[in-house]
Structure 1
Amino acid sequence: MDNLIIDAHIHFDLYKDRERETILHDRKKYHIEQLISVSNNLASAKDNLFFSRKHNGVHAAFGYHPEQPLPSEQELERLHSFMDKHQHEMIGVGEVGLPYYLRRNNPGLPQENYVELLESFIIKAKKFNKPIVLHAVYGDAPIVCGLLEKYTVEKAHFHWFKGDAKTTEQMIQNGYYISITPDVIYKEKIQQLVEMYPLSNMMVETDGPWPFEGPFKNTMTHPKMIHQSIAQIAKLKKVNIKDVYKQVYKNTKSFYTI
């Protein structure tokens, strides 16, 4: 089948039960082969592990989302212990990164503590030889690139990336991957990123249940939206849509070893 898709970044655990059932029911109809479900914290990681065990094709990444207060030492220790215990069931480390939006609303928030937290997860990814899934946008992205280089971590996935041309070029040179969200349909900056970034290092995602605007306004975020994203990528790259399906599918399978 030429149009199989993999949602490279979804918060499957954050959907309501009925919404999860809808997505699972629709997988065959919309050629949704696999989902990479990222975690926000330990409770989220436990839920995603449960879903990955219950549903073939649902894969769990474990991490601590940066756009929230820092975990206590005990919370972090429990999360790291969970990751150690279940490393062989973990598709990757994530979602981790730096709190751009949280700091924008709280300028006094000490960034160094979040950098230290992220560094602990980068060390885990390196130790386990697992991909790392990153929330790193705008001015935070160069800091994250520096940390990845420090620990020679090459399998880095910047989800829903937004940043300047210089950082984008650095990411391209380092062979990092990005994933494109459905707002590529209506956001010029995302379209420009698609034009700039090599298709060989591109995946597609929904970041569901995060909602979208444009043609997706007031509708549940669903992996089927990826088909529209791929059509737009093909248009922007001036590439046959079948070739885009094949390439992004191949990229995701290879990157996550699935």
Structure 2
Amino acid sequence: MVTDIHCHSDQVSADNIAKFIADGGKIGSVSMTLKSAIQVLALKQQYPDAIELFLGIHPEVAADEAMIEAVIALIHQHHRLLSGIGEIGIPFFYLDDKTALQKQLLKQQGAQLMARFVAIAADYNLPVNLHVVEDDIELALPILNQYGVGGALFHWYEGSLSHLTQLHQQGHFISVSPWIFVDDHYWQFVQAIPFSMMLVESDAPCKYNGKIGDPSMIVDIIAAVANYHQISVEQLTLILADNTRRYLRK
């Protein structure tokens, strides 16, 4: 069984979700806003055994306190349905036009929001599904350590080899996206990820070379990684399934 561990399923067509699940797949369904949290919660109720539900607020969303409190209330109300907390993390991409001082302030504010959700994850003993880019692990790791949350998923992470080693030594996971088929630098980084910390994701409906992302794309990721390391698809699928169970604490 394969799991797309990071997918915005509220933005994926119902037919594609149904087909992927019918073919034996599972989906780690993350939320970004209150609206998407409600939508992925409904999807979990529709596919209780095939959806791994994560609730959170994306760090690049302009969320006011009312939205934050509403999503937190949903988490408390439905915590028994949750597989984890996410998508949460540190803002990065929308800061391109900001000054260095503005970036520092916004990242600090993002870290404070991340900490609120990590604290909830710790209370319910749930894993976290993180949006943390490059050197921002230096902001994220102290938060995880503060609340004793191990085995975090750094989705679509790419950074230095020293940071990769740091994440590996601390027992965290990294999910590989279809971006391996688009960007050679990312593909080279993925080649260095130890099998023991690897998961796979579509981040659907993110586009790859103009093609809308879909959970079925993880099949091609597994084939490419297996081919590079000269192991069978079946063997890698088993490794990923075991990693997924460990990450979800099952």
TM over 0.5: yes
Correspondent of 1:82 among 68, 74, 93: 74
Tell me if structure 1 keeps the 8 A contact 2:4–2:26. yes
Structure 1 residue matching 2:199: 3-state secondary structure = strand
- Given residue 193 of structure 1, which amino acid in structure 2 is its aligned partner? F
> Which blocks of at least 5 consecutive residues in structure 1 are unaligned?
none
Equivalent positions of 1:21-36 (< 5 A) are 21-28=15-22, 31-36=23-28
Partner of 2:25: helix, strand, or coil? Answer: strand
Indicate which of 12, 26, 43 corresponds to 2:9. Answer: 12
Percent identity over the alignment is 26
Q: Quote the residue 2:174 is aligned against.
A: 178
What one-letter code is carried by the residue in structure 1 that aligns with 2:118? I
Q: Which residue of 1 is the match for residue 64 of structure 2?
A: 72
Residue type at the aligned position of 2:161: A
**1:44 partner SS:** helix
Q: How far does the alpha carbon of each residue in 1:22-74 deviate from its partner, in whole angstroms, 9 at most, with x for none?
A: 3313433xx342111000022211111101001241222000001122x2222
Give the C-alpha shift of residue 257 in structure 1: 4.1
Alignment of 1:102-113 (within 5 A): 102-107=94-99, 108-109=102-103, 110=105, 111-113=107-109
Mapped contact 1:45–1:60 kept (Cα < 8 A): no
CA contact (8 A) 2:33 2:61 kept: no
**8 Å Cα contact 2:6-2:202 kept in structure 1:** yes
Change (3 A) 1:151 1:22: closer
Cα offset, 1:159, TM superposition:
0.4
Q: Shift in Å at residue 177 of structure 1?
A: 0.4
Contact 2:3-2:200 at 8 Å conserved across structures: yes
1:235 Cα deviation from its structure 2 partner: 2.2
Deviations along 1:144-178, one digit per CA (max 9) or x if unpaired, are 12221222210200000011122111101001001
- Residues paired across the two proteins, number: 245
Question: Which residue of structure 2 lines up, in the alignment, with residue 161 of structure 1?
Answer: 157
Q: Quick one: distance in 2 between partners of 1:59 and 1:150?
A: 26
Identify which of 206, 216, 224 aligns with 2:202: 206
Q: TM-score, normalised by structure 1?
A: 0.89
Equivalences for 1:46-195 in 2 at 5 Å? 46-56=38-48, 57-69=50-62, 71-107=63-99, 108-109=102-103, 110=105, 111-195=107-191
One-letter amino acid of the counterpart of residue 8, structure 2: H
Q: Which amino acid aligns with 2:46?
A: K
In the alignment, the residues of structure 2 paired with residue 125 and residue 26 of structure 1 have an alpha-carbon distance, to the nearest angstrom, of 28
Q: Whole-Å Cα distance in 2 between the matches of residues 202 and 91 of structure 1?
A: 18
Task: Measure the CA separation in 2 of the matches of 1:169 and 1:60.
Answer: 29
Cα displacement string for residues 73-102 of structure 1 (whole angstroms, at most 9, x for unaligned residues): 222222212111111111110000011101
Of 224-233 and 234-243, the range deviating more from structure 2: 234-243
Point out where structure 2 has 5 or more consecutive residues left out of the alignment: none
Equivalent residue of 2:44, what SS? helix
Q: Is the 8 A contact 2:20 2:215 kept in 1?
A: no
